[in-house]
Structure 1
Amino acid sequence: MKLPPADSALGRLMATLPRDGRIQWIGVRPGRDEPVVELDEVQVETGTGLVGDRYAGGSGKRGVTLIQAEHLPVIATLAGLDAIHPTTLRRNLVVSGIPVIALKGRRFRIGDVVLEGTSPCDPCSKMEQALGPGGYNAMRGHGGLCARVIEGGVIRRGDAVVALQD
Structure 2
Amino acid sequence: MPFPFVGDDKSTIARLLSTLPQQGRLEWIGLRPARREPLQAVLETEAETDRHLAGDHARPKPGGKRQITLIQHEHLAAVSSFLGLTEPVDPARLRRNLVVSGLNLLALKNRRVRVGMEVVLEITGECHPCSRMEEELGPGGYNAMRGHGGLTARIVQGGRLRIGDAVWVEEPQP
Q: Is the 8 A contact 1:18 1:98 kept in 2?
A: no
Identify unmatched segments of 5+ residues in structure 2: 1-9
Identify unmatched segments of 5+ residues in structure 1: 1-6
Deviation at 1:72, TM superposition (A): 0.2
Partner Cα separation in structure 2 for residue 32 and residue 123 of structure 1: 17
Identity, in percent, stands at: 54
The answer to whether residue 34 in structure 2 is matched with residue 28 in structure 1 is no
Higher Cα Rg, which structure = 2
Q: Which residue of 2 aligns with 1:143?
A: 149
What TM-score do you get using the length of structure 1 for normalisation?
0.92
Provide, for residues 99-130 of structure 1, a one-character-per-residue CA deviation record: whole Å limited to 9, x for no partner.
Answer: 11111100110011000000101111000111
Deviation at 1:15, TM superposition (A): 1.3
Question: What does residue range 59-138 of structure 1 map to in structure 2 within 5 Å?
Answer: 60-83=64-87, 84-111=89-116, 112-138=118-144
Q: 2:54 aligns with which of 46, 51, 54?
A: 51
Deviation at 1:18, TM superposition (A): 4.9
Partner SS for 2:86? coil
Number of matched pairs: 160
Q: Which residue of 1 aligns with 2:5?
A: none
What TM-score do you get using the length of structure 2 for normalisation?
0.88
Q: Is the 8 A contact 1:48 1:56 kept in 2?
A: yes
Residue 112 of structure 2 aligns with an amino acid whose one-letter code is: R
Q: Is the 8 A contact 2:60 2:66 kept in 1?
A: no
Provide, for residues 71-103 of structure 1, a one-character-per-residue CA deviation record: whole Å limited to 9, x for no partner.
Answer: 000000101222311111011011000111111
Partner SS for 1:24? strand
Partner Cα separation in structure 2 for residue 96 and residue 17 of structure 1: 14
Q: Which residue of 2 aligns with 1:10?
A: 13
